[in-house]
A and B are shown apart, each in its own frame.
Chain A
Amino acid sequence: DAGVIQSPRHEVTEMGQEVTLRCKPISGHNSLFWYRQTMMRGLELLIYFNNNVPIDDSGMPEDRFSAKMPNASFSTLKIQPSEPRDSAVYFCASTPGGSMNTEAFFGQGTRLTVV
C-alpha cells in the first residue's frame, strides 16, 4: 500500500480564499484523523471520523473549517475563508479502527501558507 496520501504537499493562497486539503487513507482503515501542527501549539487534533462518520469535531477551531468524508477512501478539510493564522502543516492519519490499539499512519502533510 502507498500509505496515507495527502494533496497538495504545499499550498500558498491569499487571505479570504477557499482552501481544500485532500486525504486518501490506507485501504481498509476505518478511522481517519485530521491534525494541525504549528510551532506555537504543536500537534492538534481537529476532527476524526470512524466509518466515514465524524465522531469528534471539538478541535475544529471555528466555523470557517469543515471536513467531510464522503466515502471510505477520501476525505477533505476545507477552510473558507482562509486567514493568515491558518498557516500550518495539516496532517491526515488513518488507523484500522475498532478496539485494537494499533498505530496511526500519517501522511506527509500539506504545508499551508496564507498571505
Chain B
Amino acid sequence: GNSVTQMEGPVTLSEEAFLTINCTYTATGYPSLFWYVQYPGEGLQLLLKATKADDKGSNKGFEATYRKETTSFHLEKGSVQVSDSAVYFCALSPPNTGNQFYFGTGTSLTVIP
C-alpha cells in the first residue's frame, strides 16, 4: 500500500539553527513526493516537490532529495527563521491514480528568536 511516515513533533529551534524533518514512504510504483507547509489559520501550500529518484526539490532555502534506495524525502534548511514556524507535511502521489495524495501526520515547527 501507500503511506507516509514523518518525524513526530513538535520541533522547537532557535533562529539560524539547522532543520531536518524526516520523511519515509511506502508506495507502489514510483510516486511523486511533496512537502507542504501550513501557516497558522491557512490551508496547505506546496513548498517543494520531486517527481523521480535523485531529484532535489528546493524552495525558500528548503531542500529535499528523492532517495529511492532509502525510500526517504527528508526536509532540510540550513538556517531557519522565525517566519518558518508552521506545520510541515510530507506527501506522496502514486502514478496513474488521478492525483490521489497520501499525507503524513504533519510536524509542527516553532522557531524562537
* Nearest residue, chain A, Cβ from B49: A103
* Nearest residue, chain B, Cβ from A99: B96
**A106 B43 Cβ-Cβ under 8 A:** yes
**A102 B100 Cβ-Cβ under 8 A:** no
Number of interface residues of B (CB under 8 A): 23
Which residues of A pack against B, CB within 8 Å? 4, 30-31, 33, 42-43, 45, 48, 50, 55-56, 91, 93, 95-104, 106-109
The 21 listed contacts between A and B (C-beta, < 8 Å) are A31-B98, A42-B103, A43-B44, A43-B106, A45-B101, A45-B103, A50-B98, A93-B44, A93-B101, A96-B99, A101-B32, A101-B51, A101-B95, A102-B99, A103-B34, A104-B46, A104-B99, A104-B101, A106-B36, A106-B45, A108-B42
**A33 B106 Cβ-Cβ under 8 A:** no
**A101 B93 Cβ-Cβ under 8 A:** yes
Q: B30 to chain A: closest CB distance in Å?
A: 10
Q: Taking A43-B44, A43-B89, A104-B101 as given, write out 10 further A-B residue pairs in contact, using a Cβ cutoff of 8 Å, ordered by the A residue number.
A: A55-B98, A93-B44, A96-B99, A97-B98, A97-B99, A98-B99, A99-B96, A101-B31, A101-B51, A101-B93
